[in-house]
Amino acid sequence: MKRPVQDLSVQAALSGKRILLTGTTGFLAKVVLEKLIRAVPDVGRLILLIRGSRGCDSARERFEREIATSSVFDRLRAEQPDFLENFFAEKIECLTGEITEPGFGLPASKFVELAARVDVIINAAASVNFREPLDQALAINSLSLHHLTSLARAADAPLIQVSTCYVNGYNRGEMREQVVAPAGAPIPRHRDGYYDVEALIGKLQKKIERIKASVRDPRQLERRLTELGIAESNRYGWNDTYTFTKWMGEQLAMRGMQGRPLTILRPSIIESALQEPAPGWIEGVKVADAIILAYARGKTSFFPAKTDEVIDIIPADLVANSIVLATAEAIAEPDQHRIYQCCSGSGNPILMGDVIRLLEGESKRNWKAYDRLFYAEPKHDFRVVNNTSFRLMMGAMGAAVAVRTAARRLLGMTEVSRSLEALRTTQTLAITFSFYTQPRYRFHNTRLLALAQRFRTEDSFLFPVDARLINWPDYLCRIHMAGLNRYALRRRDTAAVSATVSAALPAPAPEAAR
């Protein structure tokens, strides 16, 4: 029997519960962690699965060095310093483990012990590199679901799997909160609704092993595995390795959690916080920000995009709130599989052209206010072109740069010219991100909004998820630009311009932009 409207409560569902959270060295999971600490202080325990790293042998050491010191906790440090310190000491448990290994690399007895004290699992761990070598993307985004569902079954606990709206791949039109069908080569579908990807994964692993057996040079091996990932993703209906492997992760989660509570939460393009923990809070340079940064540093002035289509951007805190609500529901009503999309395109759409216009206008008006982003006044308009024009422009620019480069070499000038660097940056940005700036569908979140309405009134204020709260000019021009400047970038005197931009971009690859 279903509960009546507004009968769910985050506090009632999560009080005293032990939540295993993965991915806390990343952006989104930090926002989730901070929100749980601040808004659900009666939670029983937060168990953070963290792998060791260079210089940090234990999860606790890495937590203290990389997570506890994050600016995501600045608000709590200012308002409730003693509470935060006590919470870290008493309710944060750091577990050293590797999500890509069976049992997380733990001894069997430790795995059983862990299962006995976990009430719910939130998996926010992922490789978000769009051009990750296929073996690594498979391990993190897909195969890790074998290990997570094993724990969920042993613990008899719900699993909240954070995915992405872009598992919709090359499909077109209205994308709703349901299982996604491949847009490319056929993949068999199970009678329970999910797709049987085990045979596909086996084929991919054989191709990976053949490449590893024939290529010894590490750089060439990485390039070959990246190319394989892109080719296979395109073949089955996805733009990149990230979205392809996240889709397979969804299928493995549904298979592993048959008859058990599973929630798949798909965000769209996650950007800086709208309100919490602070307006504009962000960590690192995200999808749109790499293009903004390249424009600010004079490394690109044009890009392939569709200005008259809706681009789906969602602030990180709305995503984190959605995860918390979905977790509370899974504990209160652990009886089915659910899929939610956290997005803005259906309720509060904004066109790609309007995003460009707003950000370019703010950049030209107030560039001096963003001292870490702009080192000089932007002199050029940011031009948007279609794919055909982009290829023609790149070809013409490439020919001109080649002539200038040859002349410079004859004169003994060996350093990379600014024009060549700009050409490479534009090409890399287009290869990596042009799919996302040429939207072909609109995401819907009807079920997520209906879920939010089932929570008590106080939760609607504490955990808002509705994108209609966003005032786009205010968010993009005041909140996001300021947040990018303050939180994501270092001061000018700490790094070279080229290093800053390069760090935001993946390595160049030979494929042309789609």
**Given the DSSP bridges, would you call strands 302-304 and 383-385 parallel, antiparallel or unpaired?**
parallel
Q: If DSSP states are collapsed to H, E and C, what string results for 452-488? A: HHCECHHHHHHCCCCHHHCCHHHHHHHHHHHHHHHHH
Identify which of 76, 15, 74, 25 has the alpha carbon closest to the alpha carbon of residue 48. 25
Kind and range of the H or E element at 419?
A: helix 418-433
| Spatial CB neighbours of 203, under 8 Å, sequence gap ≥ 6 | none
Q: Could you tell me the CA-to-CA distances from 91 to 13, 15, 59, 85, 357 in Å, in that order? A: 17, 12, 15, 10, 46
Contacts of 382 (CB under 8 A, 6+ apart): 295, 301, 302, 303, 356, 360
CA distances from 305 to 289, 302, 390, 398 (A): 15, 9, 10, 20
Measuring CA to CA, how many Å separate 43 from each of 25, 37, 39, 274?
A: 21, 8, 9, 25
Tokens of 377: 């006044």
Alpha-carbon distance of 328 to 10, in angstroms, equals 5
What are the pLDDT digits (tens) for 348-379? 999 999 999 999 999 999 999 999 999 889 88
pLDDT at 509: 35
Q: Which helix (H) or strand (E) holds 209?
A: helix 198-214
Task: Tell me the β-bridge partners of 56.
Answer: 53
Q: Fill in the amino acid letter for 347.
A: G
Residue 205's identity, in one-letter code, is Q
Question: Going by C-beta distance under 8 Å and a sequence separation of 6 or more, which residues neighbour residue 69?
Answer: none
In whole angstroms, give the CA distance from residue 475 to residue 477: 6
Burial 242-251 (b: 16+ CB within 10 A, else e): bbbbbbbbbb
Q: For residue range 225-263, list pLDDT tens digits in order.
A: 999 999 999 999 999 999 999 999 999 999 999 999 999
State the sign of the Cα–Cα–Cα–Cα dihedral 314, 284, 375, 371. Answer: positive
Burial of 500 (0-12, 13-18, 19+ CB in 10 A): buried
**Cα(82)–Cα(86) distance, integer angstroms:** 6
pLDDT at 28: 97
0.85 surpassed by pTM = yes
- Rounded to whole angstroms, what are the CA distances from 315 to 224, 278, 285, 375, 437? 35, 12, 14, 27, 17
pLDDT at 225: 97
Low-confidence ranges of the chain (pLDDT < 70): 1-6, 387-423, 425-426, 492-514
**Token pair of 196, please?**
């049987």
In order, the DSSP letters of 265-308 are: EEE-EEES-SSSSSTT---S--HHHHHHHHHHTTS-SEEE--TT
Structure tokens at 462: 């504490």
The answer to whether the CB of 294 falls within 8 A of the CB of 362 is: no
**Of 19, 25, 23, whose CA–CA distance to 65 is shortest?**
25
Closest among 249, 244, 208 to 22, alpha carbons compared: 249
Look at residue 404 in the predicted model and tell me its pLDDT: 54
Which are the contacts of 75, defined by CB distance < 8 A and separation ≥ 6?
Answer: 34, 38, 276, 277, 278
Which two structure tokens, joined as six digits, stand for 134?
């296929």
Q: What is the pLDDT at residue 237?
A: 97
The residues pairing with 122 across neighbouring beta strands, listed in sequence order, are: 21, 160
Peptide bond into 439 cis (omega under 30): no
Q: Would you say the C-alpha torsion 103, 107, 111, 114 has a positive or negative sign? A: negative
- Contact between residue 137 and residue 245 where contact means Cβ atoms under 8 Å apart: yes
